[in-house]
Amino acid sequence: MRKIMLIFCLLVFVACSGNSSENNKAAAGSAQESSEIQLQNISADSAYAMMQRNADNPNFVVLDVRTPGEFQSGHLANAIDIDFRASNFKQKVAELDKDKTYLIHCRSGNRSGQALPVLKELGFKKIYHLNRGMIEWNERDLPVVTE
């Protein structure tokens, strides 16, 4: 009877340590996947400094997800506009180079915040989110371009 109990305990131990090992592997895989995507909420001042540092960097893109009318009323320098509310938003964003660094924003941070999961799903790796959007940008009296 002792041998049976010992074997049973040994089997339970092996089974538990096997599950623990699988859980650790799954957790490590999840951590690795999430570390591949860099997402950071930043302030208007940080975004402006980042734009200054990357003014001549072709791998840095300012993505405005407001409507064309909002964009024309004043936007960040060198920004591209892809309207989050447009029916082809996901298709247009999918055409962008996913290996570039993106600074995404809207008026308040709401639409750009809703766009973040779309960018993640499409495989974008480096995303900076202007957390309070153009509202904070304008409060800080930072420069805008009008066309």
pLDDT tens readout for residues 73-120:
999 999 999 999 999 999 999 999 999 999 999 999 999 999 999 999
Which H or E element spans position 39? strand 38-42
Predicted model pTM: 0.76
Supply φ then ψ for residue 64, to 5 degrees: -100, 125
Task: Give the whole-angstrom CA distance, residue 122 versus residue 54.
Answer: 24
CA distances from 141 to 112, 137, 138, 144, 147 (A): 21, 6, 5, 9, 18
- Please report the pLDDT score of residue 37 as a whole number: 79
Task: Give the whole-angstrom CA distance, residue 87 versus residue 89.
Answer: 6
Structure-block tokens of residue 103: 């600074």
User: What is the percentage of the chain residues whose pLDDT exceeds 90?
Assistant: 74
Residue 140 three-state SS: coil
Of 12, 52, 44, 63, the closest CA to residue 137 belongs to 44
- Please report the pLDDT score of residue 73 as a whole number: 96
Q: Name residue, tokens 């960018």.
A: 119
pLDDT tens readout for residues 40-52:
999 999 999 999 9
Whether residue 109 contacts residue 129, with contact meaning beta carbons closer than 8 Å, is answered with yes
Question: In this structure, which amino acid lies at residue 109?
Answer: G
CA distances from 134 to 59, 71, 90, 121 (A): 22, 10, 22, 25
